[in-house]
Amino acid sequence: MQSYSFKALGTAWSISIDQAAFISDTFWQKVVDTTSLFEQRFSRFIDTSESRAFAEAKAGTYPVSAEMTRLLVAADKLRQLTKGQYDPAIGSLLEAAGYNKSYTLKPNEQYIKEWQLPNWQIDAKNLQVTIDRPLVFDFGGIGKGYWIDQLSQLLIDSDFPFHIIEGGGDMMATSKQNGQGWRVAIEYPGKPEMALGLSVLKNQGFAASDMFRRRWGSWHHFIDHQKKSSQNHILGCAVIAPNAWQADQATSILSLTDPAQATQLVNQLGVEYLVVGNDDLIRRSSHWPGQLF
Amino acid sequence: MSRNTAFLFLFTVVCAVSLAACQPATPAEPTPAPAMESTAPATSDTTESTHTLAPGEQMVSVETSYMSPGGEEQVGFTLFVDEEGVITAAETNVLGKSPTTVMRQKSFAAELPTVVTGKKLSELSDVDRVGGSSLTTGAFNKALTELKAQL
């Protein structure tokens, strides 16, 4: 077993490869460099990123990269599925609430009062986005899930098919060399020393989110843009899906929409989920793979 | 009838009535009452479950049928009961045939809550990773500490 850790996209990453093969420093550097490039291109905390490219732009139609188009197409589907509860155009609202690159963590009440949700459309065929006002995109967890899967593909293409990749608690696992899966303990929301369950991941992605991290004042990073405040439907949730990207998309739905509606939507996606409600009771999909404690 | 069996019978009736009530009512054919022909409980160790049996805890499973607008459907339930007869967990076993029934049974199953006490991470062995929400950045926590210091 060979493992490597690094920091990127504002969180800790770790990769384990269950192979005896020699893994050069050059390979690990490639993993770090490509991840850093992805961050440069898509993090809203970086001035020159594509996510911030329209922060000062006038209404109009602008070209976007193929990868940005891919992210926006997925975001658009989520936006439709959640009837607008998920919308990556909330970047500037998060910034005004204080979650910005300077981490002011002080809400700008006047700006928040006047803030209106920007409208945008993605034209996947022509790689263009149309906006009605300046906007900053914030993809939330789905950008991270997307990148975890990209790294998994990079490892497979580099002849390291037996691996697990974790980025800030979300992950994609293939299998171990002996064909077994990877054992993953699931953290109890708000209780970092406790596990609420244990699952074995094999060719599956995992994502979780809770309302305890990235919290400041009355805000945390899941925003109800209609009420201009943070969501408080649930304490946390975890999802197991065919890949990390789908798992992250499902956690966004579970975190942002009304619980009854959310579980119906997620059932349609064909993923398995756990939701920890405000009452501390756990609700889970009928085929959740794993033990609960 | 033992206490556990009585619990299970009552629970099954309530669940089956709820599931039948979930079906969309058709004006011509009002939602029929659930048929309760096969509620004989059977202890089972083959049912897939995410609940770990605690010492002294028993698991009982039952399958029953009810009428949906699409015809008769099956559903199963599993109850976990501790030494003092307290129900510690309840699970739905999705056995429906039609896609609509499967979807409704899945939604019903998800709404059946479970109490989880958790286990210390340090008590778990052979864990490859801990999955959880995103770790906050050093910068975020540093800013929060500084902000608190200003209050």
Please give, rounded to a whole number of angstroms, the shortest distance from the CA of B107 to a CA of chain A.
7
Q: Which of B53, B91, B100, B129 to mutate to test the interface with A (most CBs of A within 10 A)?
A: B129
Question: Which residue type, as a one-letter code, is found at position A201?
Answer: L
Q: Give how far B88 is from chain A: nearest CA, Å.
A: 12
pLDDT at residue B138 tops 60 = no
Residue ranges of E strands in chain A: 2-8, 11-17, 60-63, 120-123, 128-131, 163-167, 170-173, 182-188, 191-201, 204-210, 215-216, 219-220, 223-224, 229-230, 234-241, 272-277, 281-284, 291-292
| Cβ-based neighbour number of residue B113 at 10 Å | 16
Q: What is the pLDDT of residue B34?
A: 41
Q: pLDDT-derived band of residue B59, with 50, 70 and 90 as boundaries?
A: confident
Q: What is the rounded CA–CA span in Å between residue A44 and residue A48?
A: 9
Q: What is the mean pLDDT of residues B19-34?
A: 44
Average pLDDT, chain B: 65
Show which residues on chain B lie within 8 Å of chain A, measured between beta carbons: 48, 50-52, 92-94, 103, 105-107, 109-122, 124, 126-137, 139-140, 142-144, 147
Rounded CA separation B32/B28 (Å): 11
Q: What is the amino acid identity at position A177? A: Q
Q: How far apart are CA A282 and CA A234, in angstroms?
A: 10
* Confidence grade of residue B42 (pLDDT, cut at 50, 70, 90): very low
Nearest CB among A141, A185, A191 relative to B130 is that of A185
Q: Most confidently modeled of A225-239, B24-38, B123-137?
A: A225-239
Which chain B residue is nearest to residue A194, measuring alpha carbons? B120
**Element housing B76 (H / E):** strand B71-81
pLDDT of residue B25 exceeding 90, the answer is no
pLDDT mean over B55-83: 80
Q: How far is CA A106 from CA A45, A100, A110, A190, B35, in A?
A: 16, 10, 12, 23, 60
Average pLDDT over residues B35-58: 56
Q: Going residue by residue through chain A, which has 293 residues, state the pLDDT in tens, using 9 for 90 and above.
A: 899 999 998 888 999 999 988 899 999 999 999 999 999 999 888 889 999 999 999 999 999 999 999 999 999 999 998 888 889 998 878 777 766 666 666 777 777 777 788 999 999 999 999 999 999 998 887 899 999 999 999 999 999 999 999 998 899 999 999 999 999 999 888 887 888 899 999 999 999 988 755 555 555 555 566 666 666 678 889 999 999 999 999 998 888 887 777 877 887 888 999 988 877 788 888 788 988 88
End-to-end Cα, chain B, rounded Å: 64
Instruction: State the DSSP string of A25-36.
Output: HHHHHHHHHHHH
pLDDT on residue B29: 38
Could B132 and A141 be called an inter-chain contact, meaning their C-beta atoms sit closer than 8 Å? no
Per-residue pLDDT, B31 = 39
pLDDT of residue A85: 86
Q: Report the distance separating Cα A73 and Cα B28, nearest Å.
A: 44
Residue A281: half-sphere exposure toward Cβ, Cα within 13 Å: 11
Q: Which residues of chain A neighbour B119 with C-beta distances below 8 Å?
A: 194-195, 293
For position A179, what pLDDT does the model report? 96
Q: Mark yes or no for CB contact B129/A281 under 8 Å.
A: no
Helix (H) or strand (E) holding A93: helix A91-96
pLDDT of B143: 54
What is the dihedral sign for C-alpha A128, A132, A133, A139? negative
Q: What is the pLDDT of residue A184?
A: 92
